[in-house]
Amino acid sequence: MSETFTQPMMNRPGVPQVSLLTVTSNSPVARQVYRMTLKGDGVQAMVEPGQFVHIKCGSSASPLLRRPLSICDVDRKKRELTIIYRVEGEGTRYLSTLQSEDMVDVLGPLGNGFPLGNRDKADRVLIVGGGVGVPPLYYLSKCLSKRGARVTHILGFNSQEDSFLTDDFHQLGETYVTTMDGSLGHKGIVTDIMAHWPPESWQAVYACGPLPMLKAIEQHMAGAYQTEVYLSLERRMGCGIGACLACVCHTPDSAISYKKVCTDGPVFKLGEVIL
């Protein structure tokens, strides 16, 4: 496997590489949602919140492509990476069958994550997540909290059964939960809660979730020019490293200008790309 091939820049922070990681745990945290921890030297390279890894699901030719999954947490001391994924199709179903000691072929870290900027104690920061957009925000919130920023979280799920990580977020700061059916927290969507504050009250807003949610946030924040807003996007991917052009999105500059979600993103500043 890949480990035998000379990797000139092994385990250097931020530099993508292929590593074989060992599953240390893998169990359900919500309906069809699993949390997996993976251990190995390759984890040393994973530093930036909002980056993702590209995972080979099995060693056969089918499923063929890697699957992009966000880095949800990193413990560099324990050399452990956490991902949280929902079982959607063949690839994630395969992941859900893995057990401790199984090996996984991981390419990462990939992409540009959430810029932490100069966040400090004075800053009020809003983090908004929906569904399986929530995982990368956990590592982000940890990093921001470490810097002392006052972080507010709004997490949206379909229902209580689909919710996860809510306790963990509570420990990092003020946390609001919304569900479509009202089975947990507020009945409704994340922007209902956002409406409680004027958009300018935040020095920064970070969001990841389904496209309609991101569009609603874009609209809500439209006039707040002082606030830095970062949105993390999803696209079907081929290579994950910028070579195949599967994952592009338009930018406002021209009809042919574009950004690649895998390398220019997945996190973009509001307005940088057309949602």
Ligand X SMILES: Cc1cc2nc3c(=O)[nH]c(=O)nc-3n(C[C@H](O)[C@H](O)[C@H](O)COP(=O)(O)O)c2cc1C
Residues making up the binding site: 67-70, 84-86, 91-92, 239, 244, 247, 262
Among a second copy, ligand FAD, ligand X, none, partner that 182 touches (CB below 5 to 8 angstroms by kind): none
- Is residue 240 at the binding interface for ligand FES, with CB under 6 A as the rule? yes
Per the CB < 8 A criterion, the answer to whether 269 and 214 are in contact is: no
**Number of alpha carbons in the 13 Å side-chain half-sphere of residue 46:** 37
SS3 215: helix
Nearest by Cα to 233 from 193, 203, 260, 194? 260
Residue 80 to residue 41: CA distance in whole angstroms: 9
**Number of alpha carbons in the 13 Å side-chain half-sphere of residue 131:** 13
List of residues contacting ligand FAD (CB under 6 A)? 52, 63, 65, 67-70, 84-86, 88-92, 132, 135, 234-237, 266
Question: Out of 150, 246, 271, 272, which residue is the one contacting another protein (CB under 8 A)?
Answer: 246
Residue 113 to residue 98: CA distance in whole angstroms: 27
**Number of alpha carbons in the 13 Å side-chain half-sphere of residue 57:** 20
Residue 46 to residue 84: CA distance in whole angstroms: 16
Shortest distance in whole angstroms from residue 62 CB to another protein: 4
- Is residue 240 at the binding interface for another protein, with CB under 8 A as the rule? yes
Question: Of 58-66, 125-133, 149-157, 178-186, which segment contacts another protein by CB under 8 A?
Answer: 58-66
Shortest distance in whole angstroms from residue 70 CB to ligand FAD: 3
Q: Which residue is nearest to ligand FAD (CB)?
A: 89
Among ligand FAD, another protein, a second copy, none, partner that 42 touches (CB below 5 to 8 angstroms by kind): none
According to CB under 8 A, which residues from 42 to 81 bind a second copy?
58, 60-63
Tally the residues of the chain: 275
Question: Out of 127, 239, 267, 273, which residue is the one contacting ligand FES (CB under 6 A)?
Answer: 239
Pairing relation of β-strands 73-75 and 67-70? unpaired
Give the phi and the psi of residue 200 in degrees, each rounded to 5. -75, -10
Among ligand FES, ligand X, ligand FAD, none, partner that 85 touches (CB below 5 to 8 angstroms by kind): ligand FAD
Letters for 162-191 (x = contact with another protein by CB under 8 A, - = none) are ------------------------------
Give the phi and the psi of residue 242 in degrees, each rounded to 5. 100, 5
Q: Which positions touch another protein (CB under 8 A)?
A: 2, 5-9, 15-16, 18, 56, 61-66, 107, 235-250, 255-256, 258, 263
Q: Which positions touch a second copy (CB under 8 A)?
A: 58, 60-63, 90, 94
